[in-house]
Amino acid sequence: MANLITYTVLTLGECKLHQLHTGNGKFFVMGEVAVQLFQETPTSFLQELRKGKYTRTNSSAPDMLHTIVQLGLQVEGTASHTGVTLLPPPTVEALLIDRRRHELVQSFKLAMLKLASQEAARLMAAGDYEAALPVAMEAVPLGEQLFKPQPALQLFPLYLLAAQANLGLRRAVQCEKCLALASMLAMKEPNMTTTVMRSQLSRLYGQLYAFQSKAEEALRAFAEDVYYCSIEYGPQDARTSLGYYNLAKVLQSTGEVQGALSCADMVVSIWSSCLSRSVLGLQEDGQPLPPGAPTELLVGRLQLVEVAEMLQDICKLRADALGQQHPDVAAAHTAAGLALAELGDSDRAMQELQAAKSLLRQAAGAKQQLQLVEQAEKQAEPMESFARHFRQESIADVDLVIRASGTSEDAAPEPKRARGSASAAAADTAAGDQLQLAVLPAHKIILFNSEYFEAQARHWQQSSDAPSATTKKRRGRADDSMPGGRPVMHLTIDSAEQLPAAEAVIAVMYGVPDAVSSL
Q: Where are the domains of the chain?
A: 7-100, 122-232, 257-388, 396-407+419-509
Q: Which CATH number fits domain 7-100: 1.10.357, 3.10.260, 3.40.50, 1.20.140?
A: 3.10.260
Distances from the Cα of 291 to the Cα of 4, 231, 282, 294, 344, angstroms: 40, 29, 11, 9, 24
Burial of residue 348, with CB atoms counted within 10 A of its CB: 0-12 exposed, 13-18 middle, 19 or more buried:
middle
Rounded Cα distance between 452 and 391, Å, is: 21
Around Cβ 431, how many Cβ atoms within 10 Å? Answer: 9
Radius of gyration for the alpha carbons in the chain, expressed in angstroms and rounded: 27
**Burial code of 272-303, b = ≥16 C-beta within 10 A, e = fewer?**
bbbbbbbbbebeeeeeeeeeeeeeebebeeee
Q: How many residues does the chain have?
A: 519
**Burial code of 62-87, b = ≥16 C-beta within 10 A, e = fewer?**
ebbebbbebbebbbbeeeeeeebbbb
Name the more confident of 38 and 495. 38
SS3 401: strand
Q: Lowest mean pLDDT of 33-42, 310-319, 333-342, name the range.
A: 33-42
pLDDT band at 364 (very low <50, low <70, confident <90, very high): confident
Q: What contacts 349, CB < 8 A, 6 or more positions away?
A: 337, 338, 340, 341, 343, 376, 380, 385
| Nearest by Cα to 133 from 169, 92, 177 | 169
What predicted TM-score, i.e. pTM, was given to this entire model?
A: 0.69
Rounded Cα distance between 417 and 477, Å, is: 18
pLDDT band at 446 (very low <50, low <70, confident <90, very high): low
What is the pLDDT averaged over residues 161-177? 97
Distances from the Cα of 350 to the Cα of 226, 267, 308, 338, angstroms: 32, 21, 13, 9
Q: What is the pLDDT of residue 423?
A: 36
Mean of the per-residue pLDDT values of the chain: 81
SS3 446: helix
Phi, psi of 433 (to 5 degrees): -75, 165
Rounded Cα distance between 481 and 439, Å, is: 8
What percentage of the chain has pLDDT greater than the value 70?
75
- Cis amide bond preceding 290, omega within 30: no
pLDDT band at 407 (very low <50, low <70, confident <90, very high): very low
SS3 489: strand
Name the more confident of 256 and 399. 256
| DSSP secondary structure code for residue 411 in this structure | P
Rounded Cα distance between 78 and 42, Å, is: 10
Rounded Cα distance between 480 and 420, Å, is: 14
Element (H, E) at 10: strand 7-12
CATH code for the domain defined by 122-232 = 1.25.40
Q: What is the pLDDT of residue 416?
A: 36
Q: What is the pLDDT of residue 511?
A: 61
Burial of residue 46, with CB atoms counted within 10 A of its CB: 0-12 exposed, 13-18 middle, 19 or more buried:
buried
Rounded Cα distance between 248 and 223, Å, is: 11
Q: Is the distance from CB of 57 to CB of 24 less than 8 angstroms?
A: yes
Rounded Cα distance between 86 and 33, Å, is: 10
Q: Lowest mean pLDDT of 63-67, 131-135, 299-303, 471-475, name the range.
A: 471-475
Q: What is the pLDDT of residue 428?
A: 39
Do the strands 488-493 and 398-404 form a parallel or antiparallel pair, or are they unpaired? parallel
DSSP-H helix ranges across 212-280: 215-232, 241-253, 257-275
pLDDT band at 237 (very low <50, low <70, confident <90, very high): very high
Q: What is the pLDDT of residue 296?
A: 82
Q: For residue 482, is pLDDT > 70?
A: no
Distances from the Cα of 210 to the Cα of 130, 175, 235, angstroms: 21, 13, 23
Element (H, E) at 161: helix 156-168
What percentage of the chain has pLDDT greater than the value 90?
41
DSSP code per residue over 186-219: HHHSTTT--HHHHHHHHHHHHHHHHHTT-HHHHH
Q: Which residues pair with 16 in a beta bridge?
A: 11
Rounded Cα distance between 511 and 504, Å, is: 11
Q: For residue 272, is pLDDT > 70?
A: yes
pLDDT band at 513 (very low <50, low <70, confident <90, very high): low
Q: What is the pLDDT of residue 448?
A: 57
Q: Which residues pair with 185 in a beta bridge?
A: none
Q: Lowest mean pLDDT of 137-146, 263-272, 313-322, 467-476, name the range.
A: 467-476
Rounded Cα distance between 227 and 193, Å, is: 15
pLDDT band at 512 (very low <50, low <70, confident <90, very high): low
Q: What is the pLDDT of residue 53?
A: 80
What is the pLDDT averaged over residues 237-256? 97
Q: Where are the beta strands (DSSP E) in 65-224?
A: 84-87
Q: For residue 220, is pLDDT > 70?
A: yes
Q: Which residues pair with 440 in a beta bridge?
A: 400
Q: Is the distance from CB of 248 to CB of 317 less than 8 angstroms?
A: yes
For 81-134, the pLDDT digits (tens) are 568 899 999 999 999 998 888 888 888 999 899 888 988 988 898 889 999 999
Q: For residue 258, is pLDDT > 70?
A: yes
pLDDT band at 16 (very low <50, low <70, confident <90, very high): confident
pLDDT winner (highest mean) among 61-75, 95-109, 250-264, 424-438: 250-264
Q: For residue 192, is pLDDT > 90?
A: yes
